[in-house]
Structure 1
Amino acid sequence: MKKTTLIVVMGLAGFMANPSTASAEVRSLRGDLDITEDSRPATAVKPIAERGGFDRSYKLQPPMIPHSIEKDQITLKTNTCMRCHSEENYEKEEAPKVGESHFLSRDGKTMEKMSSRRYFCNQCHAPQSDAPELVENSFQGAK
């Protein structure tokens, strides 16, 4: 045990003493703002509307929202997403119907109302915009 501890301590000391790790520049998404300053307000971005929706990047990815949700409201008492995506309205609104998985309890039993685990749509589903990348991203989804 003492030998393992000694090896770990020596490894950490070597890592900290390495000039390449010690002098690496640490950058923040806050830019040049000090941590004590208020962040700058986000710049407004235009949502991307895509008739028919977006392709998914991986098999189980939740569908992305192909329209603006700026005026939509999701609270404990109101979910405006359901005006278009409910069983009653989806055909008339030409919108995808909420998936059957949204009506399953955590025990796998089918419920009549949407599960509270799936009620807050924007936990999984996100609108898209033409915003600049905050960090470099080279991700390529499966085709």
Structure 2
Amino acid sequence: MRGQDRPRLSALSLLMIVVAACAGSSLAVIGAGSQEAAPVTLVPRLTGTADPMAQNSIPPLDRPIVDDMRRMRNYPEQPPIIPHSIDGYQLTLNANRCLECHKREFTEGSGAPMISVTHFQDRDGQVLADVTPRRYFCTECHVQQTDARPLVPNNFVDADDVGRKK
């Protein structure tokens, strides 16, 4: 997983950051009292209600794309998407339905691609006999492909296409 070896902040550093942030915000409040406050403009919401505690209905999930075609990845190290429906799959501490097809010993019979060897390595690079606990819950990284419309416009240009003339 990305950032797993990133240095952590010490408790003292974190405390100093919090104290500095509180001091800065209190100075801003004191300074704001002498001037007229400017109106606050909020960024429009993408989903949900304006009141975070309001009860609202959950929209239904978009239809999964179930053509079982492997899609090209958009960027290096992108986890592959799930090209089939996973409705009803059990994914708990005691059971992982994904491993019934994608584990090395079952791929020949199922025709499913084997999970990456990186899923068998612990943080220190030691290869384990079974899937490492930090890679056990597949849907933390892999998502099911759906026909959902984008929430915001996407102007993504692949790195290979940048600067290329049409």
- The normalised TM-score by structure 1 is 0.77
Q: Which has the higher helix share?
A: 2
Please say if residues 57 and 142 of structure 1, whose CA atoms lie closer than 8 Å, have aligned partners that are also in contact.
Answer: no
Q: Which amino acid aligns with 1:82?
A: L
For this pair of structures, how many residues does the alignment match? 131
Alignment RMSD: 2.6
Please say if residues 49 and 56 of structure 2, whose CA atoms lie closer than 8 Å, have aligned partners that are also in contact.
Answer: no
Q: Distance in 1 between matches of 2:58 and 2:92?
A: 24
Where do residues 31-70 of structure 1 align in structure 2 (5 Å cutoff)?
33-70=50-87
Matched, 1:115 2:101: no
Please say if residues 80 and 142 of structure 2, whose CA atoms lie closer than 8 Å, have aligned partners that are also in contact.
Answer: yes
| Structure 2: unaligned runs, 5 residues or longer | 1-23, 161-166
Q: Distance in 2 between matches of 1:106 and 1:57?
A: 26
Deviation for aligned residue 1:36:
2.7
Deviation for aligned residue 1:32:
5.1
Q: 1:140 to 1:92 in 2, by over 3 A?
A: farther
Once the two structures are aligned, what percentage of the paired residues are identical? 38
Deviation for aligned residue 1:72:
1.0
Q: Which amino acid aligns with 2:156?
A: F
Deviation for aligned residue 1:37:
1.0
Where do residues 1-143 of structure 1 align in structure 2 (5 Å cutoff)?
22=39, 24-30=41-47, 33-142=50-159
Q: Distance in 2 between matches of 1:111 and 1:100?
A: 10
Structure showing greater relative contact order (alpha-carbon pairs closer than 8 Å, 6 or more residues apart):
1
Q: Cα deviations across residues 16-53 of structure 1 (Å, max 9, x unaligned)?
A: x8x7xx46453112455432311321223110123331
Q: Following superposition, which runs of at least 4 residues in structure 1 exceed 3 angstroms of deviation? A: 22-25, 30-33, 140-143
Q: 1:26 to 1:37 in 2, by over 3 A?
A: same
Q: Distance in 1 between matches of 2:159 and 2:84?
A: 23
